[in-house]
Amino acid sequence: MIFSQSTSRHVHEAAGDEEFVVDATRIIQEIPNVTDGAQIVQILHRAARVLRADHAAFASFLRGHDSTESFRFLLACNPQWCLEYQQQCWFAHDPWFQYAERHSSPICASRIPLKTPSQAAVVELAERYGVASGYVVPAPSCGRVSRLGVLVLGSHQRGYFEAKESGPIKVLARSLSMELHEWWVRAARRDLVEKHRLTSEDIELLKMERDGLGSKQIADRLNTSRAAVDSRFQRICAKFQLPNRRATAHAAAEHGVI
Amino acid sequence: MATRNSSRPRIERQIVTQDGRLRFELKRVSAGIWVGRHHLAELKQVEYAAVFSERAEFHRYLDLDELRFRYVPQFAELKRAFDDLLAIDI
């Protein structure tokens, strides 16, 4: 099993090391060029190592129009942790996820209050898999979407991230989280466009729908008839297998297509 | 003149259950085997990806997966595919 190897250097010592910052930045900058799922996991491993974390996991969430929930995890940690997490259905009780839904600032996991036994159980599970100290780094989305990402860095050493939430670590972790989130959005967009064979015209129509334009306004913009616009939307909705253009535009937005 | 070797082993595999609800993707990478697991349940879709460098660890991981009882042949095929890919030198 590949785990990121922690060094004896404490995180706030490493944070003052220019080389550490350069190394982390260089790895993060590779992310936009990655299209392969295997490569992105290996980048997460390398980034966690440079950030002196023993474990790292990036989770991405989005909600479909019919309340379908989609969770995706990139793991630089023991995958058994994620398997057990899924089998216990901890998604709804994860205090770190819930924190990321409402906040944008990174935080030590220990500073997130646990309000229910289920939330405590989620944290205990993480500790059992070696996360004695955790750093939770949200990657929020803007716009009317449920899409959310969160990076968790973990250490075997209790109090590791709590000792000092130093500037470079916070900035680098935030940058890593946002780049990973953007990677997921690009992958989701690519998959959706490919799956539904969307054309640039389809996407343009969906954007206008999302902007609140009606058929007549769209027809005027495209110099066509309202009937033609309605017909085009029917075909696009059929591609998505969704009941109406509003749901279709919403799905496209959630997947980063518009 | 050097000739291209046309019999290179496949370094990727995909294993899908008959109902299409569970899919595994495997790929030989320098650090081991990248494994993607995609499960579509009723109202939830869960995907995760990790790299395994050891056979025993992957087999142990599969043995914890509750879906192994529902998709017995696919899990057996998975173990074989993992072992085959890990044996490939890259």
**Residue closest to A238 by CA, chosen among A187, A197, A186:** A197
Residue A65 DSSP code: T
Output the six-digit token pair for A136.
Answer: 């939770």
Asked whether the beta carbons of residue B31 and residue A86 sit closer than 8 angstroms, the reply is no
Tell me which residues of chain A have a pLDDT lower than 50.
Answer: 1-9
pLDDT value for A168 = 87
Rounded Cα–Cα distance for residues A51 and A168 (Å): 10
Rounded Cα–Cα distance for residues B50 and B65 (Å): 15
Beta-carbon pairs below 8 A across chains A and B: 78
Closest-CA distance, A44 to chain B, in angstroms, reads 10
Sheet holding B32-40, edge to edge: A107-108, A133-140, A148-155, A55-63, A69-76, B44-52, B32-40, B22-29, B12-16
Closest-CA distance, A220 to chain B, in angstroms, reads 39
Tell me which residues of chain B have a pLDDT lower than 70.
Answer: 1-7
Asked whether the beta carbons of residue A41 and residue B47 sit closer than 8 angstroms, the reply is no
pLDDT value for A88 = 87
Cα–chain-centroid distance for residue A88?
21
**ipTM score of the complex?**
0.86
pLDDT value for A122 = 95
- Percentages helix, strand, coil for chain A (3-state, rounded to 5) are 55, 15, 30
**Residue closest to A173 by CA, chosen among A8, A14, A63:** A14
Q: Which among B25, B54, B61 has the least Cβ separation from residue A79?
A: B61
Phi then psi dihedrals of residue A2, to 5 deg = -90, 125
CA distances to A96, A119, A183 from A89, in Å: 14, 12, 25
Residue A92 DSSP code: G
Where do the DSSP E strands lie in chain A?
Answer: 55-63, 69-76, 107-108, 133-140, 148-155
A195 touches chain B (CB under 8 A): no
pLDDT value for A63 = 80
Find, in chain A, the residue whose alpha carbon is nearest to that of B34: A38
pLDDT value for A14 = 53
Closest-CA distance, B15 to chain A, in angstroms, reads 16
**Interface probe with B: pick from A3, A58, A81, A86, most Cβ of B within 10 Å:** A86
pLDDT value for A5 = 39
CA dihedral A42, A130, B79, A49 (to 10 degrees): 20
Output the six-digit token pair for B83.
Answer: 């072992």
pLDDT value for A211 = 94
Output the six-digit token pair for A137.
Answer: 């780094």
Q: Is A38 helix (H, G, I), strand (E, B) or coil?
A: helix
